[in-house]
Amino acid sequence: MAFKTKQDQVADILRARIISEVYPRGTKLKQSDIAKELGVSITPVREALHMLGAEGYVQAISHKGLIVPLVQPETARETLELRLMLERDLTARALERMDAFTLTAMRESQRVIAQHARAGERRVSRAENYNFHFRLYELAERPQTLQFVRVLWARYPFVTQERGGARLKNIEEHERFLMLIEAGDRAGAVEAMVAHIESGWNDLMAGKAR
């Protein structure tokens, strides 16, 4: 797995916080506050925010500074279709390189997700969900594809009020994926990941219809 600089580590933390709505859409981000909170200097925070700006996780607004941008709903379906295509490829390639270390790390992520989801701690479980997916995708060793997927996640309209059933289903889908890996069924695991992404989209649409 590639070495991560301090700015890469900060960027990973900020992405997870944006996706999990620790920083909700529309939030203004201050470099000094983030640096103090993370216990780092301004420089890696500034560089990380520059990276996230290029990916679409943050946006510079005149007279307002950096904010977490709102999602454009009209592009959501296209974003889903691109996610399905690229994440299928990353998953298949990652499973060819799956090792005991990564599988153990994903098992630990699954434990954390389940623990906090069942406790209703949505932000923690969603941040760890980000880690679950990208630990896998990084194993594919396809840096450009990985970067495209990060951009797509920034533009994806994640569920803002997950029902208990949806949270439990997410846990069950992760568990099925891991069990298929452990059983040596790579093809089945790839299809399980694709079904998992589609399931999240269906939950999003069901929530909008209510």
Q: Are 70 and 157 in contact (CB under 8 A)?
A: no
Q: How many Cα neighbours within 13 Å face the side chain of 149? A: 23
Rounded Cα–Cα distance for residues 67 and 58 (Å): 6
- Around Cβ 108, how many Cβ atoms within 10 Å? 14
Q: What is the pLDDT of residue 192?
A: 98
Q: What is the pLDDT of residue 161?
A: 46
Q: Are 190 and 88 in contact (CB under 8 A)?
A: yes
Alpha-carbon radius of gyration of the chain: 17
Rounded Cα–Cα distance for residues 12 and 6 (Å): 10
Angle 114-198-96 (CA atoms, 0-180°, nearest 5)? 75
Q: What is the pLDDT along the chain (210 residues), one digit of tens a residue?
A: 567 899 999 999 999 899 888 898 889 999 999 999 999 999 999 999 999 999 989 999 887 789 998 877 778 889 999 999 999 999 999 999 999 999 999 999 999 999 998 888 888 888 899 999 999 999 999 999 999 999 999 888 765 445 555 678 889 999 999 999 999 999 999 999 999 999 988 887 776 544
